[in-house]
Structure 1
Amino acid sequence: MRTAVMTDTNSGITLDEGRINGIYVLPMPVIVDGKDHMEELTLSHEMLYKALNENKDIVSSQPSPAALTEMWEKILSEGYDELVYIPMSSGLSGSCNTAKALAADYDGKVVVIDNHRISITLLDSVYDAKFMAENGSSAEEIRAYLEENAYQNDIYITLHSLKRITKTGRITTAGAAIATVLNLKPILKIQGGKLDAYAKARGMAAAEDKMIEAARKDLESKYAGIPKEHISIGAAGTMESQETVKRWVDRVQSEFEGYKVTYRPLACSIASHVGTNTQGVAVGLTARTLEINK
């Protein structure tokens, strides 16, 4: 069986990266001031950050059924017997359930996997799926593994500003104003497709400390005994300068010496909800053997 692997840009995998590594990547739609855009094709991270800072109306959206099915049919026409599609968690978007409904018409050739992950942890799942496909696993075997280990990942993110998230209704405008005056930074946790409040800190430096501490506790408890080469540490964010990105990645790497650290900017559809200069760290289990950093 030849099994193709497909995801979307919410994984942090770019179109070019996907082409190089034999992974099919669907651009996610984002609507800016009523105009439709597709991540990478007509909307870059820089363009989105500018729009966010200008307080434009920005809404994430699902891929259209036509975009999904056209891509599936193109992949299957290239000689694949089946494909796995790994979108963002069903807990954060309806796109996964939409894809599952569409896949019912493909007689088992399209397997949609609800891996309950997003961003840098979803990236790990996609590369795990590619690794398994190249080593003879079927689409159903890949689905079983990824869904069984869906909750073996934890993400902590700190929002620099509460301006965007107030629009989601998760925090009131008055609450956001008080937090801004007190320089309080909310630390959120994403696990299993749920976004929950984890802690708060006064200032970004203290928030970074709390995120690092949380990830370290996960390593010492939830992931205790797992070899370092099967643990992925991720750094992510919507930082606007390469200097800030480098500083954060260097900090994460120094705190988790001996682990493989991967950085990706948050996808445009995620950034539209959290705003600019958000920082995050993630811990997750991977089936691949990672080249660890000495």
Structure 2
Amino acid sequence: MTIQLFTDSAADLPKDLVQRYGIEVLPLMVIDGDKEYEDNVTLEPAELFRGMREGTAYKTSQISYQALYDRLIPYAEKGQSCLYLAFSSQLSGTYQTGTMVANDLKEHYPDFELEVLDTKCASFGEGMVVLKTAELAAEGKSMAELVEAAGFYAHHMEHIFTVDDLKYLLRGGRVSPIAAFIGGILQIKPILDVEDGKLIPIEKVRGRKKVFQRMIEIIRERGAALDKQTIGISHGDDLEAAEQVAAMIKEAFGTPEVLITMIGASVGAHSGPGTIAIFFLNRER
């Protein structure tokens, strides 16, 4: 029996790939005042970004204990092994909730094989780890092999991204009010990274064209076998920019495949419209 893969909606996986590999996706919650939505289920990303452009300030919350328990218990009852690849524990409590649920389920179903892995990744970086693991699961690899592979991909997955408007990072406490104000006036675009699961600003560049060029340079500096690996791009409702960056990547490195997806509502509520994020491996496995 194939090991069942779980992840959360913060992985920003395209629906066609979710269906192809039979991945179970657990929705994070997005909150607008007294209204609560399930990410990518009752609130589509395009609707969220439209609302943000009109001034709506969304909040998010992690997957509840009960929701995760209810999704996992049918697999425990039939004894099917499961692997949950979770959103970075530095950005959400979802991994900790997954660990609690796993421990409780194993008390009642001691033979249930369930592993929960903190990917320390976000958005399609997490999604790329899930996809690479799903390919191996489809080949019938063991749990130990999947955990080892997922751990490798998670550890070596680079996240390089920029946001179009600093006010969304300001709202999340990622930049100071003064930096956001000056950045908006001067059109300064930050380049950010995720290191050990945490959001880290690494550079500031003036102008969007220059920021894309610098992102390509960073990929060249950090990437491994760029002419062989698949690279991922997620965007905040800006497909045109994502396709432009994809073309730049293919021209610069001869990359055979660049997967493009829209950032989901749970991540997009913090990064904002116009975000462009690139995900690639810095080491071959």
Query: Is TM > 0.5 for Structure 1 vs Structure 2?
Result: yes
Partner of 2:99: 100
Q: Deviations over 1:137-173 (max 9, x none)?
A: 3323322332244321111111110111111222122
| 1:232 Cα deviation from its structure 2 partner | 2.8
Runs of 5+ in structure 2 lacking a partner? Answer: 107-111
Query: Which aligned pairs between 1:125-204 and structure 2 lie closer than 5 A?
Result: 125-204=129-208
1:281 is the counterpart of 2:285: no
Instruction: Confirm or deny: 8 A CA contact 2:187 2:207 kept in the other structure.
Output: yes
1:41 is the counterpart of 2:64: no
Query: Which aligned pairs between 1:246-285 and structure 2 lie closer than 5 A?
Result: 246-284=243-281
Q: Deviations over 1:199-231 (max 9, x none)?
A: 011111111111110011112xxx3xx5843x3
Q: Deviations over 1:112-154 (max 9, x none)?
A: 1112222222222212222222333332332233224432111
Q: Deviations over 1:66-122 (max 9, x none)?
A: 111111123445x55210011211122111111111101232522111122222222
Partner of 1:72: 72
CA separation in 1, counterparts of 2:197 and 2:138?
Answer: 27
1:119 is the counterpart of 2:123: yes
Give 2:277's aligned amino acid: G
Q: Deviations over 1:8-64 (max 9, x none)?
A: 221122455423321111222111223100122211111101111122221121011
Q: Deviations over 1:225-251 (max 9, x none)?
A: x5843x3312221034x4334333323
For residue 239 of structure 1, the aligned residue among 237, 259, 271 is 237
Q: Deviations over 1:176-195 (max 9, x none)?
A: 11111111111111233121
Instruction: Confirm or deny: 8 A CA contact 1:28 1:269 kept in the other structure.
Output: yes
CA separation in 2, counterparts of 1:45 and 1:101?
Answer: 29
Instruction: Confirm or deny: 8 A CA contact 1:153 1:191 kept in the other structure.
Output: no
Q: For residues 17 and 153 of structure 1, do their structure 2 counterparts lie closer, same or farther at Cα, with a shift above 3 Å needed?
A: closer
Give 2:129's aligned amino acid: S
Structure 1, 158-167 or 51-60: larger mean CA deviation: 51-60
Give 2:211's aligned amino acid: A
CA separation in 2, counterparts of 1:279 and 1:64?
Answer: 29
Partner of 2:83: 84
Partner of 1:19: 19
Structure 1, 163-172 or 123-132: larger mean CA deviation: 123-132
Structure 1, 44-53 or 26-35: larger mean CA deviation: 26-35
Identity %: 25
Partner of 2:109: none
Q: For residues 258 and 158 of structure 1, do their structure 2 counterparts lie closer, same or farther at Cα, with a shift above 3 Å needed?
A: closer
Q: For residues 286 and 123 of structure 1, do their structure 2 counterparts lie closer, same or farther at Cα, with a shift above 3 Å needed?
A: farther
Give 2:84's aligned amino acid: Y
Structure 1, 278-287 or 172-181: larger mean CA deviation: 278-287
CA separation in 1, counterparts of 2:39 and 2:17?
Answer: 14
Instruction: Confirm or deny: 8 A CA contact 1:188 1:196 kept in the other structure.
Output: yes
Structure 1, 262-271 or 101-110: larger mean CA deviation: 101-110
Runs of 5+ in structure 1 lacking a partner? Answer: 289-294
TM-score by length of structure 1 reads 0.87
| 1:280 Cα deviation from its structure 2 partner | 1.8
Q: For residues 205 and 193 of structure 1, do their structure 2 counterparts lie closer, same or farther at Cα, with a shift above 3 Å needed?
A: same
Q: For residues 227 and 192 of structure 1, do their structure 2 counterparts lie closer, same or farther at Cα, with a shift above 3 Å needed?
A: same
Instruction: Confirm or deny: 8 A CA contact 1:211 1:280 kept in the other structure.
Output: no
Instruction: Confirm or deny: 8 A CA contact 1:166 1:176 kept in the other structure.
Output: yes
